[in-house]
Amino acid sequence: MPEKIPVKLRDHLIPFFFQEMEGITASHDGQKVKMIRLLPSSSLANYLYALIDYEKKSNDFPNDNFLLYLSIERKNNFSFSGTVYVDQKGIKSELMLTLEKVRELNNLLEDIFRTALVCFIDGMRYARMTVRKGVEAFMEIYNLLEYGFEPETIRKMYYEQKKKTVLNRFQIRSSNKVVGFF
Tell me the C-alpha distance between 125 and 130, whole Å.
Answer: 6
- Residue 104 predicted with pLDDT over 80: yes
- Can you list the alpha helix ranges (DSSP code H) found in the chain? 14-20, 43-51, 99-126, 131-141, 151-162
- With a pLDDT cut of 70, the percent of the chain lying above it is 87
Over 132-148, what HEC string results?
Answer: HHHHHHHHHHCCCCCCC
Does residue 80 or residue 104 have the better pLDDT?
104
pTM here?
0.85
CA pair distance 121, 60, nearest whole angstrom: 41
What pLDDT, on a 0 to 100 scale, did the predictor assign at position 179? 42
- What is the per-residue pLDDT across 121-171, written as a single tens digit (0 to 9) for each? 999 999 999 999 999 999 999 888 877 789 999 999 999 988 888 888 888
Hey, which residues does 5 pair with through a beta bridge?
A: 97
pLDDT of residue 62 exceeding 70, the answer is no
- Reply yes or no on whether the pLDDT at 64 is more than 80: no
Q: How would residue 63 be classed by pLDDT, with cut points 50, 70 and 90? A: low
